[in-house]
């Protein structure tokens, strides 16, 4: 791969720091991927308390205060698709994933997205490289080592091409400024460099990594797990969905167990 640009080196340092500070909430995936459950709001008690607005004034502080009856209510609400109480618990994930994974992930519309922009920054100069497991079907490697060597060199060339042409565009813009052809930079974002980035990003492959904040309620997260942890989902998004599930289940184990039970019983 090409040498990392400044933004990518900073990102690597940031990932290392997040892993150091929040080891139980973070996972690495593939050659440059990352996921963190940065924050969550609400828990099993939030769900049961919300549902009980209909029937009682009894409220629980947290899942540790649950009786068998409370656990049974949680299960029954989920099994019988009483959807809205499950919309009151939120999760904020941050993940660094290849663009082709994001194309699939963003189809989950009931959630909020904020993504790294190649209009305002240079691309993350790292592309996804499938390891042997990702390249194999039933133990048979569908792409051999020669194909992978070419793949990596092609990706590297694209990042190098971007850097070369971005530097050249910047040099031309500054020369035109020096000659008075273009106006001097007046603070804020430079529209000329910005337009160069907008156009040069067109050569970036769907294997290039991007960086996302994803905020989602539990009802929608369960739908994501149901669809993207199944064997027919693509290997790479499955890896992220499995990682998101692991982080979620560490945070809210009772809700995770209840969800597993309901999904198994419904064969979903
Ligand atoms: C294995 C697999 C293969 C796929 N292949 C393709 C593909 O080839 N091409 C492609 O484009 N997509 C594909 N998808 C994406 C799929 O069609 C869904 O867009 C995606 O899984 C998001 O699911 P969702 O709509 O349930 O999620 P969300 O958008 O998060 O919606 C959650 C739920 O809200 C409700 N909802 C949301 N929006 C509406 C609406 N407008 N009207 C009515 N109800 C709504 C539905 O009940 C929905 O289940 C694939 C998905 C999987 C898992």
Quick one: pLDDT at residue 204? 97
Query: In testing the pocket of ligand 1, which one of 112, 218, 223, 226 has its CB within 8 Å of the most ligand atoms?
Result: 223
Give per-residue pLDDT as tens, 233-244.
Answer: 999 999 999 999
| Segment 201-220 mean pLDDT | 98
Domains of the chain (ranges; CATH) run 6-42+89-266 (3.30.1360.170)
Quick one: pLDDT at residue 70? 94
| Atom 1 of ligand 1, residue of closest alpha carbon | 233
Confidence grade of residue 186 (pLDDT, cut at 50, 70, 90): confident
Quick one: pLDDT at residue 1? 61
Q: How far apart are the first and last CA of the chain?
A: 41
- The Cα diameter of the chain in Å comes to 79
Give per-residue pLDDT as tens, 240-264.
Answer: 999 999 999 999 999 999 999 999 9
User: At CB < 8 A and 24+ separation, what contacts does 25-31 make?
Assistant: 25/247, 25/250, 25/251, 26/247, 27/243, 27/246, 27/247, 29/97, 29/239, 29/240, 29/243, 30/98, 30/128, 30/129, 30/130, 30/131, 30/134, 30/236, 30/239, 31/126, 31/128, 31/129, 31/131
Quick one: pLDDT at residue 187? 84
Active site residue 228: yes
CA atoms 142, 147, 149, 152: torsion sign: negative
* CB distance 87 to 218 below 8 Å: yes
Cα(104) to ligand 1 centroid in Å equals 10
Cα(215) to ligand 1 centroid in Å equals 17
What mean pLDDT is reported for the chain? 95
Confidence grade of residue 49 (pLDDT, cut at 50, 70, 90): very high
* CB distance 236 to 30 below 8 Å: yes
Nearest-atom number in ligand 1 for the CA of 234 is 1
Confidence grade of residue 26 (pLDDT, cut at 50, 70, 90): very high
Per the DSSP assignment, residues forming a β-bridge with 141 are: 136
Q: What are phi and psi of 168, to 5 degrees?
A: -65, -45
Q: Which residue has the tokens 């492959």?
A: 205
CA distance 50 to 134: 42
Is the confidence at residue 56, as pLDDT, over 90? Answer: no
Cα(204) to ligand 1 centroid in Å equals 26
* CB distance 244 to 93 below 8 Å: yes
* CB distance 95 to 33 below 8 Å: yes
Q: Which of 28, 103, 228, 229 is an active site residue?
A: 228
Cα(208) to ligand 1 centroid in Å equals 24
Quick one: pLDDT at residue 57? 85
Lookup: tokens for 240: 């992220």
Which residues lie closer than 8 Å to 221 by C-beta, 6 or more apart?
A: 91, 244, 248
Quick one: pLDDT at residue 142? 97
Burial of 92 (0-12, 13-18, 19+ CB in 10 A): middle
Is the confidence at residue 2, as pLDDT, over 80? Answer: no
| Residue list, ligand 1 pocket, CB within 6 Å | 107-110, 220, 223, 227-228, 232-233
């Amino acid at each position: 791969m090409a040498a990392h640009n400044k933004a990518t080196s900073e990102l690597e340092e940031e990932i290392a720091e997040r892993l150091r500070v929040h080891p139980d909430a973070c996972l690495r995936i593939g050659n440059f991927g990352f996921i963190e459950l940065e924050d969550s709001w609400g828990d099993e008690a939030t769900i049961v308390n919300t549902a009980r607005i209909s029937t009682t004034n009894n409220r629980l502080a947290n899942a540790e205060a649950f009786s068998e009856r409370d656990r049974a209510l949680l299960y029954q609400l989920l099994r019988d698709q009483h959807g809205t109480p499950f919309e009151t618990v939120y999760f904020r994930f941050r993940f660094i994933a290849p663009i082709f994974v994001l194309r699939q992930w963003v189809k989950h519309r009931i959630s909020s997205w904020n993504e790294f922009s190649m209009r305002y920054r240079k691309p993350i100069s790292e592309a996804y490289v499938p390891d042997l497991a990702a390249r194999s079907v039933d133990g048979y490697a569908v792409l051999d080592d020669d194909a992978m060597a070419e793949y990596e060199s092609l990706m590297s060339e694209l990042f190098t091409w971007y850097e070369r042409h971005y530097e050249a565009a910047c040099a031309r813009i500054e020369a035109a400024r020096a000659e008075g052809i273009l106006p001097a930079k007046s603070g804020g974002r430079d529209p000329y460099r910005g337009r160069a980035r907008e156009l040069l990003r067109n050569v970036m492959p769907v294997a290039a990594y991007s960086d996302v904040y994803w905020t989602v309620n539990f009802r929608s997260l369960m739908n994501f797990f149901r669809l993207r942890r199944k064997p027919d989902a693509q290997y790479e998004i499955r890896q992220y969905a499995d990682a998101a599930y692991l982080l979620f289940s560490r945070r809210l184990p009772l809700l995770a167990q209840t969800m597993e039970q309901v999904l198994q019983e419904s064969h979903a």
